[in-house]
């Protein structure tokens, strides 16, 4: 382990969806470096053709001395989600953190460009996924009387002038409101629900979208999001919940940079 880590997540069990590459992989690695046991999940094979698998991410974590288990899961499939959470509990006995990161980015396309099947796929991954995954971990978190759910939001979900377009922006706006409502619902169980808006990232997914070239140089590596995700992971409803936070403001308007 590198020295800068302080084992802030020692003993915690975290599920990170969409951790085959990009932001999910970076968060999974950061959690593991902070002492968490990490369940790294993604689909068995990616229809995107982009690089990275959950098995590879888990291996990278174990090679660095961390603890990780790779599980196949399409977050839009209830059976697969229930199986993923069941296997996590069988293996580690608890779930402290869920990061709903898996997502599809259809950026800047017009309504007429977006075919109905692409619409359905995006809504299924970006909105139904967080619903199914949150639903699957709740019984365990309620029993534990603690937990942290982190939903990955977006500036596109709050500001139509960012140019994300009708599909991606709508799904992320829905994720924001889903999170606010769920945070209210879960306060009495001491479960935190927050939205982390990471800002523009240089991920494999972003690189595949021509639209991102407009601000590519302003984008940051996904590893920059790690510390703010760790901060949210170690919260419960008594400390920090129901917030939409920007990664770029971490340590300034919210959280501690230590
Ligand atoms: P990415 O490189 O395309 O990675 C997306 C991840 O989501 C992959 O691991 C992919 O796994 C997984 N995924 C997609 N659909 C899935 C499904 N139905 N079931 C399970 N896994 C699925 O994207 P990224 O840039 O890292 O984005 C990650 C998250 O951050 C997304 O929610 C995105 O909206 C959000 N975000 C990104 C940016 C940015 O600038 N990149 C900015 C703000 C927010 P497979 O291997 O199975 O395809």
Q: How far is residue 3's CA from residue 150's CA, in Å, rounded to a whole number?
A: 26
**Residue 201 CA, closest ligand 1 atom number:** 40
Pick the CATH number of 13-249 from 3.90.650.10, 1.10.3720.10, 3.40.50.720, 3.30.930.10: 3.40.50.720
Q: How far is residue 44's CA from residue 46's CA, in Å, rounded to a whole number?
A: 7
Task: Give yes or no for residue 203 CB within 6 A of ligand 1.
Answer: yes
Q: Please answer whether residues 237 and 189 qualify as being in contact, where contact means their C-beta atoms are separated by less than 8 angstroms.
A: yes
Q: How far is residue 183's CA from residue 189's CA, in Å, rounded to a whole number?
A: 10
pLDDT tens track for 160-202: 999 899 999 999 999 999 999 999 999 999 999 999 999 999 9
Report the separation in Å between the CA atom of 125 and the middle of ligand 1, taken as the mean of its atom positions: 9
Neighbours of 223 (CB within 10 A): 15
Question: What is the domain partition of the chain in residue ranges?
Answer: 13-249
Nearest CA to ligand 1 atom 36: 154
The verdict on whether 92 is a catalytic residue reads no
Nearest CA to ligand 1 atom 1: 205
Q: Give the CA-trace dihedral at 147, 129, 251, 217, to 10 degrees.
A: 160
Task: Give yes or no for residue 179 CB within 6 A of ligand 1.
Answer: no
Task: Give yes or no for residue 22 CB within 6 A of ligand 1.
Answer: yes
pLDDT of residue 6: 73
Task: Give yes or no for residue 102 CB within 6 A of ligand 1.
Answer: yes
**Residue 100 CA, closest ligand 1 atom number:** 32
pTM of the model: 0.97
Neighbours of 245 (CB within 10 A): 20
Asked whether the predicted pLDDT for residue 46 surpasses 80, the reply is yes
- Kindly state the percentage of the chain with pLDDT values over 70: 97
Q: What is the DSSP letter of 147?
A: E
**Residue 22 CA, closest ligand 1 atom number:** 26
Please state the rounded mean pLDDT for residues 80-98.
98
- Kindly state the percentage of the chain with pLDDT values over 90: 94
Q: Which of 92, 131, 168, 231 is catalytic?
A: 168
Asked whether the predicted pLDDT for residue 4 surpasses 60, the reply is no
Query: What confidence tier does 108 reach under pLDDT thresholds 50, 70, 90?
Result: confident
pLDDT of residue 2: 40
Asked whether the predicted pLDDT for residue 256 surpasses 90, the reply is no
Task: Give yes or no for residue 130 CB within 6 A of ligand 1.
Answer: no
Enumerate long-range contacts of 206-212, CB under 8 Å, 24 or more apart: 206/22, 206/105, 208/48, 208/50, 209/105, 209/107, 209/108, 211/107, 211/108, 211/163, 212/107
Token pair 């922006």: residue: 169
Q: How far is CA 154 from the centre of its chain?
A: 11
């Amino acid at each position: 382990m590198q020295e800068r880590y302080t084992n802030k997540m020692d003993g915690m069990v975290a599920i990170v969806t969409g951790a085959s590459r990009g932001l999910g992989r970076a968060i999974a690695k950061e959690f593991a470096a902070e002492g968490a046991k990490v369940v790294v999940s993604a689909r068995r094979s990616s229809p995107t053709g982009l690089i990275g698998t959950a098995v590879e991410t888990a291996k990278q974590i174990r090679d660095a001395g961390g603890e990780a288990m790779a599980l196949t899961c399409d977050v839009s499939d209830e059976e697969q989600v229930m199986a993923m959470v069941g296997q996590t509990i069988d293996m580690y006995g608890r779930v402290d953190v869920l990061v709903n990161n898996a997502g599809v980015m259809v950026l800047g396309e017009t309504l007429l460009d977006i075919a109905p099947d692409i619409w359905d796929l995006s809504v299924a991954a970006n909105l139904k996924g967080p619903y199914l995954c949150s639903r699957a971990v709740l019984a365990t978190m309620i029993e534990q009387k603690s937990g942290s759910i982190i939903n990955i939001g977006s500036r596109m979900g709050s500001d139509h002038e960012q140019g994300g377009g009708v599909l991606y922006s709508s799904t992320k706006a829905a994720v924001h409101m889903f999170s606010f409502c769920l945070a209210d619902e879960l306060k009495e169980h001491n479960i935190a629900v927050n939205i982390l808006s990471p800002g523009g990232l240089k991920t494999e997914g972003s690189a595949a979208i021509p639209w991102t070239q407009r601000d590519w140089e302003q984008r940051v590596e996904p590893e920059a999001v790690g510390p703010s995700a760790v901060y949210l992971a170690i919260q419960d409803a008594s400390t920090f919940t129901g917030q939409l936070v920007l990664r770029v403001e971490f340590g300034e308007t919210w959280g501690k940079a230590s």
